[in-house]
Copies of this chain bind each other. A is one copy, B any other.
Amino acid sequence: MQLGMIGLGRMGANMVRRLMRAGHDCVVYDVSEEAVAALEAEGATGARTLDEFAAKLTKPRATIIMVPAAVVDVTLAGLTPHFEPGDVIIDGGNSYYRDDIRRSEELAAGGLEYMDMGTSGGTHGLERGYCLMIGGPDDAFARLEPVFEALAPGVGEAPPTPGRDKPGSTAEKGYLHCGKVGAGHFVKMVHNGIEYGLMAAYAEGFNILKHANIGRTSREADAETAPLGDPHFYDYDIDLGEVAELWRRGSVVGSWLLDLTAVSYLDDPNLDAFTGSVSDSGEGRWTAVAAIEEGVPAPVLNAALFERFASQGADEHANRVLNAMRFQFGGHHVKPSA
């Protein structure tokens, strides 16, 4: 079937490619003409304006939007005047599910249908397929299911779950209608919250392994710092890359993220190409907020988020407060900032 795609960045462009490989027709638009031209060369129908984009789509129109969360509203504002009742717009980016609810109501006023589609897979999605978490009306889901099926990995991408016999279920193919509008991005939000926790678990573990030789570093004895009780217990040089590779087979901690970690250590054993400042996107924050509002504890997911904040230096003032207190009650020698 035919589908539009607005936003041809890392994600959008590859999704178009995967759709075309499956035999679907794609009409594509991006603010970058280069990005449009690149996909035209691969067989997509390009559009230079949203007007042209809408004109090239067969009615009732259907399009995915793959743009940064911050520009979804402005994209919708530009697009919707060219769309008509019965058309459906699918936000495949990383929008906050609450914005989905609002947008769905706004678009409904003009007769447009809105779906939210949380999309996981990153740059590997072209080959592996995209895991799709979908929210919105039943009829729109049914109409667009061929698109979701083409984007999704397919049942063969993982071994079957023993005992599973749910022929009608799409989850095994890698896409799922999670519920009414917002449900897709809600599930994707939590997915990313979990992702933060998983990533941090590995990162902390490898950091502990890396410091397994700290017993060989003499710690200066002063009034503030206690000596390491048993330095001979920290006298190991662990090859982090070999451990990452090792754990990929047979261990309880095997995962795709571990596979990627093994690649990273192979390419760059000390990870010198990377800084220690880690960005966070919205989902990790929103997951933490959801836990708080639901009143359920999520200390692991939250700790993972706060580690990123600290890596960005946002703990600076708090730490100064600690040093100020220590100076006040203990006269602790605190090095003045340069």
Contacts known (A226-B282, A298-B207, A332-B279); A158 close to B252, Cβ less than 8 A: no
Q: Taking each of A236, A272, A315, which has the highest tally of chain B beta carbons within 10 Å of its own beta carbon? A: A315
Q: Taking each of A195, A257, A297, A331, which has the highest tally of chain B beta carbons within 10 Å of its own beta carbon? A: A297
- How far apart sit A257 and B258, CA to CA, in the bound complex (Å)? 12
Which residue of chain B has the shortest Cβ distance to A176 in the bound complex? B246
- How far apart sit A247 and B303, CA to CA, in the bound complex (Å)? 23
Judge if A1 is at the interface, Cβ distance under 8 Å.
no
Judge if A96 is at the interface, Cβ distance under 8 Å.
yes
- How far apart sit A238 and B236, CA to CA, in the bound complex (Å)? 38
Which residue of chain B has the shortest Cβ distance to A316 in the bound complex? B276
- How far apart sit A200 and B298, CA to CA, in the bound complex (Å)? 9
Q: Taking each of A121, A256, A325, which has the highest tally of chain B beta carbons within 10 Å of its own beta carbon? A: A325
Interface of A is mostly: helix
- Asked if A70 and B227 make an inter-chain contact with CB atoms under 8 angstroms apart, the answer reads yes
Which residue of chain B has the shortest Cβ distance to A285 in the bound complex? B292
- Asked if A250 and B131 make an inter-chain contact with CB atoms under 8 angstroms apart, the answer reads yes
A21-34 vs B: 1/0 string, CB under 8 Å? 00000000000000
- Looking at the assembled complex, report how far the CB atom of A99 sits from the nearest CB atom of chain B, in whole angstroms: 9
- Asked if B214 and A175 make an inter-chain contact with CB atoms under 8 angstroms apart, the answer reads no
Judge if A104 is at the interface, Cβ distance under 8 Å.
no
* Chain B residues within an 8 Å CB radius of A153: 249-250
A257-277 vs B: 1/0 string, CB under 8 Å? 111111111111001111111
- Asked if A292 and B320 make an inter-chain contact with CB atoms under 8 angstroms apart, the answer reads no
Interface hit among A45-53, A54-62, A78-86, A305-313: A305-313
Within 8 A of B (CB), among A125-180: 125, 128-131, 133, 152-155, 157-159, 161-164, 169, 171-176, 178-180
- Asked if A194 and B202 make an inter-chain contact with CB atoms under 8 angstroms apart, the answer reads yes
- How far apart sit A266 and B226, CA to CA, in the bound complex (Å)? 32
Judge if A94 is at the interface, Cβ distance under 8 Å.
yes
- Asked if A307 and B317 make an inter-chain contact with CB atoms under 8 angstroms apart, the answer reads no
- How far apart sit A278 and B190, CA to CA, in the bound complex (Å)? 23
Which residue of chain B has the shortest Cβ distance to A198 in the bound complex? B201
Q: What are 17 A-to-B residue pairs whose CB atoms are below 8 Å?
A: A131-B247, A180-B236, A183-B238, A186-B238, A191-B253, A194-B253, A198-B255, A203-B318, A203-B319, A208-B294, A225-B280, A226-B281, A274-B320, A275-B334, A278-B323, A280-B295, A310-B311
Which residue of chain B has the shortest Cβ distance to A237 in the bound complex? B179
